A = this chain, B = another copy of it.
């Protein structure tokens, strides 16, 4: 019998070794390699076979620089072997629907969920594929700092929105794995109950405090609950609602 900390096979081990990579060999990955990774990504489950994912690889250095600026100056967006923008795409659905003799009803909240989840499942599969080859990755949620600029740069039509970016490349750093909340906090049975969580979270605070203090680079004095307090204070990206509505995701 294995303990909860001992993964039962090599795939579990691969999954548990994930950490974001932010330093890469500044050489492009081949188109074939990226295609392979995305192709394996697309094998993920998709709601009713909707396949609402479009991936735009950005190779134009000016566009990469502009997107890096949107993302608050994350330079590895420019240098990683590949930079991909993962888009939730209901425009292809609309066109397919017309080809099939129908007319798509748009703007539903449910469609937004389906498309966003579709993209995330495919992207995570692609991430696992990339990491299985020894590549490193970093998701870039910060493209949503100014999604309109990204949409303009990539000439996205209506019913398409950029969910996140993804850097992929050969790592030139080997950072520590960031500890996660214990599975006992996350996995519940039959009902949601927060009983006992405060103690486990307090213990996790100490684990994370030690991680922040001792990790290689970007050390700080902090813990999980303090990070969460900082993170959720104030309105986060308040432009998203109007941006999405303008693109045809009205959230009805």
Contact = CB atoms under 8 A, between A and B. Distances in A.
B128 A198 contact: no
Interface string A140-163: 010010000000001111001001
B56 A188 contact: yes
Interface of A: 1-2, 4, 7-12, 14-18, 20, 32, 34-36, 38-51, 53-60, 63, 87, 91-105, 108-111, 113-114, 116-117, 120-121, 123-125, 127-129, 132-133, 137, 139, 141, 144, 154-157, 160, 163-164, 177-178, 180-181, 183, 185-194, 197-198, 201-202, 205, 223-238, 240-241, 244, 251-252
B54 A188 contact: yes
30 contacts: A4-B35, A9-B133, A11-B11, A15-B40, A15-B125, A16-B39, A17-B43, A18-B44, A38-B187, A42-B183, A43-B177, A44-B127, A47-B139, A48-B227, A57-B189, A59-B189, A92-B201, A96-B228, A97-B225, A97-B228, A99-B225, A100-B225, A102-B228, A102-B232, A108-B236, A108-B238, A108-B240, A109-B244, A116-B120, A160-B192
Given A43-B16, A238-B252, A59 B190 contact: yes
Nearest to A94: B232
Contacts of A185: 92
Contacts of A97: 225, 228-229, 231-233
A228 B92 CA distance: 10
B236 A35 contact: no
A47 B145 CA distance: 14
Contacts of A4: 32, 35-36, 39
A141 B104 CA distance: 20
A187 B34 contact: yes
Given A11-B128, A127-B45, A39 B183 contact: yes
A139 to B, nearest CB: 5
A51 B103 CA distance: 38
B114 A117 contact: no
B15 A43 contact: yes
B11 A92 contact: no
Contact of A102 (B47, B93, B113, B229): B229
A15 to B, nearest CB: 4
